[in-house]
């Protein structure tokens, strides 16, 4: 596939970056995205982005920063990172409620 950039393995799951996703990271470092994807506590939330089904992973970085990372399944064992953002206040409240129930 020519539209993806570098493969990375997190907990034995290969993640590849959509190059545009790397360019659009606003104030978030690529290593923070990978930390969220490999966090022990992750909340998977199905979503749709531009008519494409994605899975968002709600988690914290090693420093506790709350992020939402959107990934798209390419095949059974391959996922494409399509975006990431910091949680807003409402998302954070929902995530903290989920965390408290863990």
Query: What is the structure's pLDDT at 1?
Result: 42
CA dihedral sign, ordered 42, 37, 49, 88: positive
**Domain count for the chain:** 1
Query: What is the structure's pLDDT at 13?
Result: 60
Q: What is the mean pLDDT of each run of 10 residues along the chain (102 residues)?
A: 46 76 89 94 91 94 97 86 96 97 88
Domain assignment of residue 64, given as a range: 5-100
What pTM does this model have? 0.84
Query: What is the structure's pLDDT at 6?
Result: 46
Strands 52-60 and 66-75, how do they pair? antiparallel
């Amino acid at each position: 596939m020519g539209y993806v950039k570098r493969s990375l393995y997190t907990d034995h799951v290969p993640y590849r970056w959509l190059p545009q996703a790397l360019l659009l990271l606003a104030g978030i470092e690529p290593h923070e995205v990978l930390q969220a994807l490999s966090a022990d506590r992750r909340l998977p939330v199905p979503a749709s982005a531009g008519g494409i089904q994605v899975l968002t992973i709600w988690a914290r970085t090693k420093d506790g920063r709350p992020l939402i990372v959107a990934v798209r399944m390419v095949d059974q064992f391959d996922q494409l990172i399509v975006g990431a953002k910091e949680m807003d206040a409402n998302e954070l409240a929902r995530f903290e409620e989920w965390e408290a129930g863990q």
